[in-house]
Structures are given as structure tokens and as C-alpha cells.
């Protein structure tokens, strides 16, 4: 059939649901079918009605639920009873399609079907005739394991079933064995050798055992196929099926190569992918093309700089085209100044001069060294930590704690005083933070009461930043707060306390305990 429009046949609810562990209930199938309708697929294969009462009901409900522009299809073996049951499930659809067929490779004929070529051919013809005789206007015939079949026999089967009334011929590479060149040549061969093949839709159905399902489907359409059978997120038997989002976006992005269009509303792709992943419980691999979490994420400094200057430098698809709001700049130890500056400004942080930004960037790098990814909350904490304007009377040089279920919590602290002297002291406490604060008190010697200590994890995970906030009371009524974030909770606790103490000293003055001086700088 010569047209530039490729039909998208979605089999998420049938071949996709054959993925190990992916079982959907009837309501979920109907919800996914409604989303497939919004996505703009042409055909929904809703199930295999004879296989269970649940599958029958799902096909019946989907047939009734979706718009009358969509073809709803049910799978059958080439067995009259299967076809009768499928027809019962489908007949409420505005556009019903029965999808029937039989194996064509030697191994299918000999081991699975135990039939001769001739016997199998007759069974296939009878199945198509039966479906048409029931009144089904649209019958798709699959020649299972076409990829390993003798092409001459395949041609004969296809010619015969077209004569029997098949409207669509599905040529599956059931085992994902073919190369794109071979699969494309198979379709070209069918169009050249099978009379009548020009009047039906030839369909590509590929499995991904060698990671070539998308490439194979594209080779087929290049050679004349006008329907692609695919699933959302590429789920399906074993390594899965051709992924809908990949073929659709390949046809869209490389229209210059293929010159073919689909009816897919690409902005619905991401939403559909999320829905299928959530409902089936099958996670999408992060580096999956188009819909993976990293598909539009940029991690290295060079890439971030390029994308921020001009998105197309490192992106061939605008993420909005597939319904993803924006590209992601992943801030990590590999990020450069451009990426960090951009994110900080998006978060509303302004810097009076380059020195201020450099301070934050240097701190960012030291946080990034301890964490895989630096999140927005981490950045906020870094900025509030670094941009405080309190005079740094005491600065942390080193803190070391020793604790455990059988140990007496002990802390040693080294502080720098006004860039002039390094002071050190140690103490024990009820816990490691108490020990740190007592050791600091021995050095700083300004009396106060700790009235609040809270610690929060800024982001998720074992490598999260600890965000410590403390309040101290001094001089009878004055309250001073301190706040610091660090991947080490003891460092964050020490810095938060020092910040509060520096505020107290700035207001009321402090004195150095001379006996604590370790060295003069």
C-alpha cells in the first residue's frame, strides 16, 4: 500500500503484557487504552480473548471505551473457537480487527505445530475465511517466525491468506533474529513476489533480542511496510518489542531520511510512558532513548555549557516535543561554572560579584566530591551557608570525634581565631555533638545555653547533606541561630554552632583562652 502515513499498532496490552511480571487489571487496561487514544495510535491490540475471562473482558471493555477512529484488535490462534471468542469480545468496537495466524518457520512447523507446510497453509486460509465469514471486516494475519522461514514458503502463505480475505499481513521477526538489512529485504521481497501484497497493509512486528527491534521496524517501513507493531517503553516478551516512542521519534526527527509520518501526538509520549511504567511496575532504564530519566540530562561541564548556550548543540529533540518540560542539568563533580551559575540563577540566587560566586562554586565542588548529584536543596543550603555576612571570628580547621556503643563520646576541635592563631581543645560529652560543643566552649569561652538543635536530611539517600540548625541563648535573653549543611553531620553541627557563636561574639565580644593557643599564624 503506497502512502506516506505509517499506522501505529500498539500492542502494549497484549505482547507488552506478556513481559514477565507485568500483569494489568481490566480497569488499568482501559485507562491505558484511553491514554493510547490521546496519544493518537491507530490500532490497539487489547488482548488475547480466549486466553482468560479477564483478557476477554479487557478486550470487550477497551472496544467500548475508545473513540470510533481507533481499530481495536484481539489476538487468536488459527483456531475457529479462538476466533469466535475474539469476535464476541470485539464486535462492540466501531473498528474491530481479528489478528490470527500460524508459524511459518521449519522449527515452528515441525516442533510446535507438528504440521506439514501444506497442512499449515490450509489451516491459515481456513482461519482467515472463518473470521471474515463471522462478519469481521478487518483481518490481520501473522506469519509467526517469518525471520527464520523459507521466503518462498512465506510468499505462498501470504498470497493465499490475502486471497482468503486478509487485509493486513504481519511479518513478525518473532525471535529478534534478523538484521535491519535482512528484515528490510524481506518486505521488499514480499512486495516484489506476492501478487496482491500491494493492496494490503504490510506490518512490521519485531522483538529486541539483539537490540535491533527499532532499527528493524524502520528498515521495514523504508522497504514498504506501512504499519509498525510496538509497545510503550518497548516492553514485551524476553527483551521486549519495538518501542513506540523510539520508532515514532525516529520517523519524526529523521523525516529527511524516511519521508513518513504517523498520527502520534508526540507531546503525550512521556505521560504514556510514565503511566505504563507505573501500572505494570516495569521501570524504565535511565538511559532509555526518549523516555529514560537521563534522555535529556546533561552531566559533563562541556555539554552543560553547550546546551545552555544553544540547546541543539547536544540535543536532537526538544524535550517539550515528547512532553518533558525541560532538559535537565545534572550538577555533579563534572559540572562546570556555567551549569552551576545557571541553576543558581534559576533558583533565584544573585551574587554581588565574582568572588561571591567563586566561594559558592568552590563549596559546591567540595560537596559534589562527596555526593553523586547535587540537588537544588543542596545548592540552597550551600548558598545560605556561604553567604552569611557574620564576621568569621572563629573558623573551623578540624573536628574529629570518637564514639560508639562502648566508647565515651570524645571530640577534638581545632579553630582559627581571626586568622591569627590556631587553637585546639578536646572534651567528652553525652554524645558526639555534645562533646564537640563542649570542646568548642573550652576554646571560645563565651557562656550560652543550647536551646535547640535540629538536623534534617536535605536530599534523599545515604549521601544526603545534613542540614543542621541550632539556637543558643546568651546574655539572659538574646537568641542566636546558626545553620550549616554538610555531607558529614558532625561538620555541619560544628559549623552551625560556630555560626551562632560568631553572631554572639560579634554582638557581645569574646575572649581567647590563651592556654588553648596551639600556634600563631
Q: Which residues bind ligand KIV (CB under 6 A)?
A: 15, 142, 144, 170, 172, 174, 205, 207
Count CB atoms within 10 A of the CB of residue 352: 8
Which of ligand KIV, Zn ion, none does residue 427 bind (CB under 5 to 8 Å by kind)? Answer: none
d(CA 92, CA 113): 32
Nearer to ligand KIV, 172 or 234 (CB): 172
- Please report how close the Cβ of residue 205 comes to ligand KIV at its closest, in angstroms: 5
Nearer to ligand KIV, 105 or 272 (CB): 105
108 makes contact, choosing from Zn ion, ligand KIV, none, with CB < 5 to 8 Å by partner type, with: none
What is d(CA 167, CA 162) in angstroms, rounded to the nearest whole number? 7
Degrees, nearest 5: CA angle 21-243-316: 135
Residue 170 binding result from Zn ion, ligand KIV, none, given CB thresholds of 5 to 8 Å by partner type:
ligand KIV
What SS3 state is found at 60? helix
Complex with ligand KIV: residue 215 or 382, whichever CB lies closer: 215
Cα gap 440→425, rounded to integer Å? 7
Q: Does 427 help bind Zn ion (rule: CB under 5 A)? A: no
Dihedral class, residue 137 (left if φ above 0, else alpha if ψ from -120 to 50, else beta):
alpha
Cβ atoms of 82 and 59 closer than 8 Å: no
Q: What is the 3-state secondary structure (H, E, C) of 321-336?
A: HHCCCCCEECCCCCCC
* Nearest residue (CB) to ligand KIV, 76 versus 393: 76
Smallest gap, in angstroms, from Cβ of residue 143 to ligand KIV? Answer: 8
Q: Which is nearer to ligand KIV, 106 or 315 (CB)?
A: 106
496 vs 72: CA distance, rounded Å? 63
Site for Zn ion contains 145 (CB under 5 A): no
Q: Which of Zn ion, ligand KIV, none sits in contact with 272, Cβ below 5 to 8 A by type?
A: none
| Cell numbers linked to 378 | 543542596
Distance CA 16, CA 45 (A): 10
As measured in angstroms, the least distance from the Cβ of 172 to ligand KIV is 3
Q: Which three cell numbers stand for residue 363?
A: 563549596
Report the nearest approach of ligand KIV to the CB of residue 77 (Å): 9
Which helix (DSSP H) or strand (DSSP E) does residue 7 occupy?
strand 7-10
Write down the least CB distance from residue 253 to ligand KIV, Å.
Answer: 27
Chain residue whose CB lies nearest Zn ion: 15
Q: Are strands 466-474 and 7-10 parallel, antiparallel or unpaired?
A: unpaired
Cell match 540563577: residue?
345
**Sole binder of Zn ion in the list 10, 14, 15, 212 (CB under 5 A):** 15
Partners of 520 in the β-ladder? 421
Q: Which stretch binds Zn ion (CB under 5 A): 8-16, 143-151, 353-361, 389-397?
A: 8-16
> What's the CA gap between 468 and 145, in Å, rounded?
63
Pair 45, 261: CB distance under 8 Å: no
Between 197 and 241, whose beta carbon lies closer to ligand KIV?
Answer: 241
Judged by beta carbon, residue 59 or residue 436, the one nearer Zn ion is: 59
Supply the minimum distance, in Å, between the C-beta of residue 105 and ligand KIV: 10
Shortest distance in whole angstroms from residue 101 CB to Zn ion: 11
Residue 142 interacts with which of Zn ion, ligand KIV, none, CB < 5 to 8 Å by class? ligand KIV
**Rounded-to-integer distance, Cα 55 and Cα 173, Å:** 24
Which residue stretch of 10-18, 141-149, 209-217, 507-515 sits at the interface with Zn ion (rule: CB under 5 A)?
10-18
Residue closer to ligand KIV by CB (options 172, 319) is 172
Paired with 461 in beta bridges are: none
Shortest separation between residue 184's beta carbon and ligand KIV, angstroms: 18
C-alpha cell at 464: 544526603
How many residues at the interface with Zn ion, by CB under 5 A?
1
Instruction: Please report how close the Cβ of residue 166 comes to ligand KIV at its closest, in angstroms.
Output: 13
Q: Which is nearer to Zn ion, 44 or 134 (CB)?
A: 44
User: How far is Cα 297 from Cα 326, in angstroms, rounded to an integer?
Assistant: 9
Q: Measure CA 512 to chain center.
A: 56
Nearest CA among 279, 356, 268 for reference residue 320:
268
Cβ neighbors of 192 (< 8 A, separation 6 or more) are: none
Shortest gap between Cβ of 207 and ligand KIV (angstroms)?
6
Shortest separation between residue 181's beta carbon and ligand KIV, angstroms:
20
Of the pair 172, 184, the CB lying nearest ligand KIV is at: 172
Q: Which is nearer to ligand KIV, 51 or 332 (CB)?
A: 51
55 binds, among ligand KIV, Zn ion, none (CB under 5 to 8 A by kind): none
Q: Which stretch binds Zn ion (CB under 5 A): 9-17, 351-359, 390-398, 511-519?
A: 9-17
Residues 6+ apart with CB under 8 A from 41: 8, 9, 10, 70, 244, 263, 264
Q: Please, what is the minimum distance in Å from the beta carbon of residue 237 to ligand KIV? A: 7
Query: Maximum CA pair distance of the chain?
Result: 104
Q: Which residues bind Zn ion (CB under 5 A)?
A: 15
Amino acid at each position: 500500500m503506497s502512502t506516506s502515513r505509517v499506522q501505529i499498532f500498539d500492542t502494549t496490552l497484549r505482547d507488552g503484557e506478556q513481559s514477565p511480571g507485568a500483569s494489568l487489571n481490566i480497569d488499568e487496561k482501559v485507562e491505558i487504552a484511553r491514554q493510547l487514544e490521546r496519544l493518537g495510535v491507530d490500532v490497539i491490540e487489547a488482548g488475547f480473548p480466549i486466553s482468560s475471562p479477564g483478557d476477554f473482558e479487557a478486550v470487550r471493555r477497551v472496544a467500548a471505551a475508545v473513540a470510533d477512529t481507533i481499530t481495536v484488535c484481539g489476538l487468536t490462534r488459527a483456531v475457529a473457537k479462538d476466533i469466535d471468542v475474539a469476535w464476541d469480545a470485539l464486535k462492540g468496537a466501531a473498528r474491530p480487527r481479528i489478528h490470527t495466524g500460524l508459524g511459518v518457520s521449519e522449527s515452528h512447523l515441525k516442533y510446535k505445530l507438528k504440521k506439514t507446510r501444506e497442512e499449515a497453509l490450509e489451516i491459515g486460509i481456513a482461519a482467515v475465511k472463518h473470521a471474515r465469514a463471522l462478519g469481521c471486516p478487518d483481518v490481520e494475519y501473522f506469519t509467526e517466525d517469518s525471520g527464520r522461514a523459507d521466503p518462498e514458503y512465506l510468499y505462498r502463505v501470504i498470497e493465499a491468506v490475502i486471497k482468503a480475505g486478509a487485509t493486513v499481513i504481519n511479518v513478525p521477526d518473532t525471535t529478534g533474529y534478523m538484521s535491519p538489512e535482512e528484515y528490510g529485504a524481506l518486505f521488499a521481497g514480499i512486495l516484489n513476489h506476492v501478487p496482491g501484497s500491494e493492496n494490503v497493509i504490510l506490518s512490521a512486528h519485531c522483538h529486541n533480542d539483539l537490540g535491533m527491534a527499532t532499527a528493524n521496524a524502520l528498515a521495514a517501513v523504508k522497504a514498504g511496510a506501512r504499519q509498525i507493531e510496538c509497545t510503550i517503553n518497548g516492553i514485551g516478551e524476553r527483551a521486549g518489542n519495538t518501542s513506540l516512542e523510539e520508532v515514532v521519534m525516529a520517523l519524526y526527527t529523521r523525516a529527511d531520511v524516511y519521508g513518513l509520518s504517523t498520527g502520534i501526538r508526540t507531546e503525550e509520549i512521556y505521560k504514556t510512558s510514565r503511566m505504563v511504567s507505573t501500572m505494570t511496575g516495569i521501570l524504565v532504564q535511565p538511559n532509555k532513548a526518549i523516555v529514560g530519566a537521563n534522555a535529556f540530562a546533561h552531566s559533563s561541564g562541556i555539554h552543560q555549557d553547550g546546551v545552555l548556550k544553544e540547546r541543539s548543540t547536544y540535543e536532537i529533540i526538544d524535550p517539550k516535543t515528547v512532553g518533558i518540560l525541560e532538559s535537565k542539568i545534572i550538577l555533579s563533580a563534572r559540572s562546570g561554572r556555567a551549569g552551576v551559575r545557571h541553576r543558581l540563577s534559576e533558583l533565584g540566587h544573585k551574587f554581588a560579584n565574582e568572588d561571591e560566586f567563586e566561594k559558592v562554586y568552590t563549596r559546591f565542588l567540595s560537596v559534589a566530591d562527596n555526593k553523586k548529584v547535587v540537588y537544588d536543596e543542596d545548592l540552597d543550603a550551600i548558598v545560605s551557608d556561604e553567604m552569611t555576612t557574620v564576621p568569621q571570628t572563629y573558623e573551623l580547621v578540624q573536628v574529629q570525634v570518637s564514639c560508639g556503643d562502648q566508647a565515651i563520646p570524645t571530640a577534638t576541635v581545632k579553630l582559627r581565631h581571626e586568622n591569627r592563631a590556631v587553637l585546639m581543645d578536646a572534651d567528652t560529652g553525652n554524645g558526639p555533638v555534645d562533646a564537640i560543643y563542649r570542646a568548642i566552649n573550652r576554646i571560645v569561652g563565651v557562656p550560652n545555653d543550647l536551646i535547640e538543635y535540629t538536623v534534617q536530611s536535605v536530599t534523599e539517600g545515604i549521601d544526603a547533606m545534613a542540614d543542621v540548625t541550632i539556637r543558643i541563648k546568651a546574655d539572659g535573653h538574646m537568641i542566636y541561630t546558626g545553620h550549616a549543611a554538610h555531607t558529614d553531620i558532625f561538620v555541619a553541627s560544628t559549623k552551625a554552632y560556630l555560626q551562632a557563636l560568631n553572631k554572639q561574639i560579634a554582638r557581645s565580644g569574646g575572649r581567647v583562652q590563651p592556654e588553648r593557643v596551639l600556634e600563631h599564624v
